[in-house]
Structure 1
Amino acid sequence: MSEIKTTAEAIENAALPKSRAVHLSNCAPTPEQQPLPKGVTDKPLSEKSPAEWAYERLILYIKNFEEQLDNNHEIAMGFTGGTTGIMRIEGMGFYAPDIISFYGSDPEGGRTQQIQHVTQLNVLLRALPKKVDQPEPNRIGFRLAQDLEQD
């Protein structure tokens, strides 16, 4: 016998994001396996543009990836489906309703920017050695996550 729900509960459950992850071996919990931060759940999903919702979830993936890096590495992204190389992620944004942007530099220090439509979003997160002349690796994921909580 199925559980009876109120209309409000049914609407709320339909609007809640759904996620799942299965891994071959034991690993640190991934974003799909963790509760969403309050800064993400404050605004109902139905009021977010596809770009805003993609941006928030990318932040969770980036922060989770960085949490598993040692002090000699920092996050970068590789470009999927092409031979254009990789970019150190130094910033990220969205332009509602449908654009995500990444700001950074290539391994030689050249300024780079990637602009993608949410329907074409493909991000390959990579670990790169930190720059030799900096004592600590950059952690953009933690800064992005703090910004989510301030909204």
Structure 2
Amino acid sequence: MPEPVKPTGQNLASELYKHLKKRAEDFDNKLDGSQGVGVRLIPSGQSVTFQVTALGYCDPSLIIFAGVTESGLEVQLMQHVSQLNFLLMAMPRPNPEEPKIPFGFIQ
């Protein structure tokens, strides 16, 4: 059986991940210690807002967001790169008295 071929090209999730990582890190660096990076998504007409704790990808086409909602629930969103549409926003950190953890990324 032939070995699977790893996809190549500019439309891979890994390429989008690099751009998202840079934008999110730049955004995070502008926030004060009481704020963290949040994301607001509007899938199926409902608004979902959560503090991002990790960002990753699965080539060829999935971007993965992990985080915590304002009510403290852990969430993980897997989004196809063709459907990615979100708003980076400043959110109050749940524990601002603890040291700010750098924006996290997973692969």
Asked if TM exceeds 0.5, the reply is yes
Letter in 1 for 2:73: G
| CA pair 103-123 structure 1, distance change in 2 beyond 3 A | same
Conserved in 2, the CA contact under 8 Å of 1:74 and 1:139? no
Looking at structure 1, the residues matched to 42 and 36 of structure 2 have their Cα atoms a distance apart, in angstroms, of: 19
Runs of 4+ in 1 over 2 A off after TM superposition: 46-49, 80-85, 132-139
From the CA coordinates, give the structure whose radius of gyration is larger.
1
**Superposed CA RMSD:** 2.3
Structure 1 gap segments, 5+ residues each: 1-45
Equivalent of residue 30 in structure 2, options 53, 64, 68? 68
Looking at structure 1, the residues matched to 11 and 22 of structure 2 have their Cα atoms a distance apart, in angstroms, of: 17
- Aligned identity (percent) is 24
Equivalent of residue 121 in structure 1, options 78, 84, 93? 84
| Higher helix content, 1 or 2 | 1
**Do residues 111 (structure 1) and 74 (structure 2) align?**
yes
**Do residues 80 (structure 1) and 42 (structure 2) align?**
yes
Looking at structure 1, the residues matched to 84 and 27 of structure 2 have their Cα atoms a distance apart, in angstroms, of: 18
| Higher strand content, 1 or 2 | 2
Equivalent of residue 21 in structure 2, options 37, 56, 59? 59
TM-score normalised to structure 2 length: 0.79
Give the Å deviation of 1:138: 3.1
Of structures 1 and 2, the one with the larger relative CO (CA 8 A, separation 6+) is 2
Looking at structure 2, the residues matched to 117 and 85 of structure 1 have their Cα atoms a distance apart, in angstroms, of: 17
| CA pair 86-49 structure 1, distance change in 2 beyond 3 A | same
